[in-house]
Structure 1
């Protein structure tokens, strides 16, 4: 119920069916209005795909379907990925997200304002300084996506398990390096060096830092579970054909980050403490909750704004005279 109400607020009533199937003239008017809005929303979704196709952001995905004579026919399904909006969202959201992580990690006086912190983090403006951790995080996301491949590439469960283990092992230094960059303990290097790989994969180093490595691994697992659960709840309460792919990814991911605040705060502080830049891992010591609340609100606003802007562009593209074809949506 809470998810439905949030979605109704964020997306509008045209995305969700009427909650009560009441009878009467007023109920009929409500249902008719909902059907009309739904048709408009489906045309908007079609417009979103057309806009992305016009921008050259279409990706073909092949699927096999059975034919009447028993042979397999190959159908080409076009899936549109809003790469432009992903890039813009990352460019705007990254400094805001990094600032939120550092507010979680370090002690900040109560008289410091959020805008003052944001200005100081962006000036002097240097792309390498501000976006130093973005490349590493993108590579980490790519590695996480590769974990999905074994089911299609390696039918044998043993081979698939070995592939997953190797991919996970390779991504541990990336994860650790990216986390250190986010909280400002790693400089402005774009990717981990061979020396860093050797150090992180040293059993003695791992044993000396078992708390932060264990917490980091736990955060990675819990964060993915929370985000996937949020995404499933999001899609379950909407029509998948009417929700852009990026909207189904950005908003649940932002909500997942918010729900993981206690665990991520402990992990950030543990890594910063190991680097000699924090005094304690405890959550009740030195957190400026006023600033953290503002940082979370700004991060959510950015994610919501990007989804709304894209949807607004699609609505401008659609007029009431646009033909409606449910099969094409």
Structure 2
């Protein structure tokens, strides 16, 4: 590889993609929730389960977590809000908070997250029931969990699942099914593994960004100067190991859906990721890892 090509690869590392401030704030709440959810050993969970929208072809619906623990399944919506939260009616909650720059009090209306989660569960069970009929009859608890930065005293209900994130483990214990708590059902975990999740990219800044891969294949240039492609439908994940800023290539480790692994060399390449309302472009030099969430799942 020429010096110019090595310099071009080094320059590629200067291109960084980040989430906007609002998305970063929401991601922080989900990260905190994931830490709470996984405290108990043996918890089986998936983040960001998504299903095709039942009424809008080409659109999807999602929740934040689907958790199998204590012998029961829980569908959890995380809300990283600030300020006071009040009920408006059965379908709406009101958020009252101070402006970030001292502008006074702002009022926002949001869909009731508990009702929204119950509706998602109904469609999730119908969707997964196409491949596992027992899932349609499975009871799934709906949970809306708020960060401690919000005052939810006006809507808080532990029995109903309108709680703080810090209460999640206690809620799981409260809904414990002693018959299955110590011997989880393999068919439930297998069905959950088939549920699509967001495609994920971890940048070299260690930031996770979700969305949908806009192509069916990962395309990269190898050390043989040829372009190669790997179908996402056969991949679980790909991780990159850097050889140095001015190296001629990076090493890729591909984990396939059949359990096999392969190491390949990548000179360059790119990924387009579709997010809600925007498209993001990543150079492979700035990607640490990708996880396939849609192409290799039931959809």
Q: TM above 0.5, one fold?
A: no
Task: Kindly indicate whether structure 1 or structure 2 has the higher relative contact order, using CA contacts under 8 Å at least 6 residues apart.
Answer: 1
Q: Which structure is larger by alpha-carbon Rg, 1 or 2? A: 1
Q: Normalising by structure 1, what TM-score? A: 0.23
Q: Which has the higher strand share?
A: 2
